[in-house]
Each structure stands twice: as C-alpha cells, then as structure tokens.
Amino acid sequence: MKIAILGFGTVGSGAYEAAKSAPGIEVKRIVDLRDFPDYRDILTKDINDVLDDDEIELVAECMGGVHPAYEFVTGAMRRGKHVVTPNKNLVSACYDELMACAAENGVEFRFTPAAGGGIPWLYNLMRSRRCDEILEVHGIVNGTCNYILDNMHTNGADFAAVLAEAQALGYAERDPSADIDGHDTLRKCVISSNIAFDARLREEDIPTFGIRSITAEDVAWCNANGYTCKLLMNAGLAGDALYAYVEPELFTADALESGVKANFNLITLTGVNVGPLSFYGQGAGMMPTGTSLVQDMIDIAAGIGFAPADGGTAHTLDNTKVAHRYYFRGSDLSGLPASVIAEQFARGSDTVVLTAPISVTAAHQFAADCAARGIDFFMAGINE
C-alpha cells in the first residue's frame, strides 16, 4: 500500500522509520513546508500532490493542530483515501465530523496513538467493547505532567524548576499550557470516552483542573502522608448519565498508578466481564508513537478493525453523581462551607483543607470560583 505522510516532525519521521519494517507499506510522499535534503525525491510542499495521486491509498496526518489538518484529512477521505493520525487535538475537537466523513466515503479512519502514544490503548478499548460493557476508563495519559510530578516527588523540587528542566530535555513544549493545564489529558479523555461509551462528549463540558499551581509543599505533604500525586483522566457510567473529569489525584503507595515513573502512561478500563485491564508504556516519543501509527496502517491494509459506534449517543454529563475526598490548598478557602471540611490546618499564609466526600461538580466549581477571585489554589482528588 502506498502512503503519504503529512508533516515530517517527530511523529511523522518516526512513522517513516517504523514503516521500513512494515512489509507492504511504502511511503510515496512526504508533505512538509520545510526542506529535508535527504528526502527531496518524495518531499513536496503541495498537499494536492497527495490528494490528486490515486496511487496513494492512505494518508498519515502528523502535522498536529486542528487546521489545516481537518481540511487535509477530510479532503483525503473524500478522495477515497484512508487516514491515520496521532493528532488528539483534531480527533477530540472534530470526532463526530471525522467519523461521519469516513463512513460517508467508505474509508477507514484510525487514531490509536491519539491517546496513549505507543500504547495500543484505544485499539484494545475498541476490541474489548465487542463482548463486554465498559463501566469506566481512567489513566495517566500525559507524560509531561507525569515527568514533572515524579521529579517533584523524588527530588522535592519546585514546579517551575522541574518544568524548566523538562523543557530543556524536550519533554515539555515552550508553551506548556496544553500539558500542565490538563487540556491534553482532557482531549484524551474525550476520545477515550467517545469510544468506551459511544458518547459524543465536548471538551468544553468536561471539568479540567491541571497541575500548574502545585507546589513543593503540596508534594511534601503527599510524601509525608503516603500519597503520590498524578494527573488523571476519569470517565464512566453513572446511571443513565456519564461522569467525566480531569484532575490531579492522590494515590496510596500500593496503587499501580504510584509506580508510573518518568514520562510513562498507564491507562485502565473496567469491563463488566473482564474487570480492570490496564495498559502501560510510552505515551509519546518518535518511535513509540510512529510505530503505533504504522500498526494502524497495517491493520487497515489487512482489513483488521472494529465497527465504530453507530452515530454515537448524546449522553448527559453528570459529575454530581461521583464524590470523593479532596485535598484543597489556597491563599483563601473561606468560601468553603464548614460542613465539607473534615480537617483543616494552616501552612504559612495558606490554608489546607481535607474535605469530606464531595461531588466532582462541587469541587471543580469551587476551583473555578477561586480562579475567578484570583486566589492561588491547588486541589487533588483523594483516591481510596
């Protein structure tokens, strides 16, 4: 099968390398506005060199971002070309349109590396659903945040110092907002939930709290109390509704999540039949992600796949039905009702509160109120 790679950055070049050991996959074109002297024989700046080439049966979109990736991907599908992509921004923002476009044009659209990078998480989630009901999904899906948190736990370092180190090592972007504010985790939550529950969740509906405001003192408290802090995506069935949220969570030492080091990911589904099933590995990186993308290509070439959800279901999102204890720390927690305070103490000019079990809705609303009032605030769910 002749393919084209759009975007020759980290993942695009990883896919190119991995495709070398995939019999039957031949990279005919690379589309990139930059020059790569070693690849000039197949390099072009013009997307039409791919769209107009009937020999190219599959397009691997590795540019990132929503536009013009969306236009290129849908353009390729309308020309009868299959599409694979690791682009979580695109898949999360345009899930419904892309699934519909693939179905209308009778082509395959695969995006296994869009959540989990090198981990075949989405692939196995789809496979599991064939004879099991998924009750919930959760996981550590952002390697940058895990690297930062792991280093803070191990070295006692400040958030800013570890972030700067991660940026120097290339583990974090120059603008780290998508990672540390939880937006990347949110996108993987949307994609995973849509597959697990036939849902059509929208990013803007899912409460998301990142790790930007965590301090060395917060981590020291975790260490002293036997907790490890991780950034988690969570989604699951709650009666007729779904819950879905992104927040830091505190795990006890014997939780599998506590053993996830450096920039690794760990993602779990719970099925009625199979129980908990977890997948661990490299959630990003040139060769892991590129290889996962090529695995999707091989599946398409071999006719291996799982029927996608049939149009999806408009689930109600209801985070009032999930409740747990929280760690709150802020310069002013006076807005908190006394009834939810299980334990409270001062730390310098800050207040720390361990809450009674409260709903995710209530906790994230309180966080939003703090943000609106300009209060320095950090929170983490307590996993028990």
Is residue 189 within 8 Å of residue 233, measured between CB atoms? yes
Is residue 117 within 8 Å of residue 232, measured between CB atoms? no
If the CB atoms of residues 273 and 349 are measured against a second copy, the closer one turns out to be 273
Helix intervals (H) in the chain: 10-19, 48-51, 69-78, 88-93, 95-105, 121-129, 143-155, 159-168, 177-180, 183-197, 216-224, 286-302, 360-372
Among the listed residues 81, 188, 261, 321, the single catalytic one is: 188
Specify the DSSP element, H or E, that contains 65. Answer: none
- By CB under 8 A, name the one of 258, 319, 355, 361 that touches a second copy: 258
* Interface with a second copy, residue 131, by CB under 8 A: yes
Q: Name every residue whose Cβ is closer than 8 Å to that of residue 195 and which is 6 or more positions away in sequence.
A: 122, 125, 126, 129, 309
- By CB under 8 A, name the one of 35, 170, 174, 253 that touches a second copy: 253
Alpha-carbon radius of gyration of the chain: 22
Q: How far apart are CA 321 and CA 136, in angstroms?
A: 14
Is residue 154 within 8 Å of residue 317, measured between CB atoms? no
- By CB under 8 A, name the one of 65, 156, 276, 357 that touches a second copy: 276
If the CB atoms of residues 22 and 375 are measured against a second copy, the closer one turns out to be 22
Q: CB of residue 14 vs a second copy: minimum separation in angstroms?
A: 8
Q: CB of residue 33 vs a second copy: minimum separation in angstroms?
A: 27
- By CB under 8 A, name the one of 35, 204, 254, 310 that touches a second copy: 254
Q: CB of residue 264 vs a second copy: minimum separation in angstroms?
A: 8
* Interface with a second copy, residue 265, by CB under 8 A: no
Site string for a second copy, 26-65 (x = CB under 8 A): ----------------------------------------
Q: Is 188 a catalytic residue?
A: yes
* Interface with a second copy, residue 127, by CB under 8 A: yes
Angstrom CA distances, 187 to 12, 76, 171, stand at: 20, 23, 19
According to CB under 8 A, which residues from 85 to 124 bind a second copy? Answer: 118-120, 123-124
Q: Which residue do the tokens 């109600």 mark?
A: 316
Cα 28–Cα 122–Cα 96 angle in degrees, nearest 5? 80
* Interface with a second copy, residue 308, by CB under 8 A: no
If the CB atoms of residues 69 and 141 are measured against a second copy, the closer one turns out to be 141
* Interface with a second copy, residue 298, by CB under 8 A: yes
Q: How far apart are CA 336 and CA 341, in angstroms?
A: 8
Angstrom CA distances, 240 to 204, 237, 321, stand at: 21, 7, 11
Residues with catalytic roles: 188
Residues in touch with a second copy (CB under 8 A): 18-19, 21-22, 118-120, 123-124, 127-128, 130-133, 253-256, 258-261, 268, 271-282, 285, 287-288, 290-292, 294-295, 298, 303-305
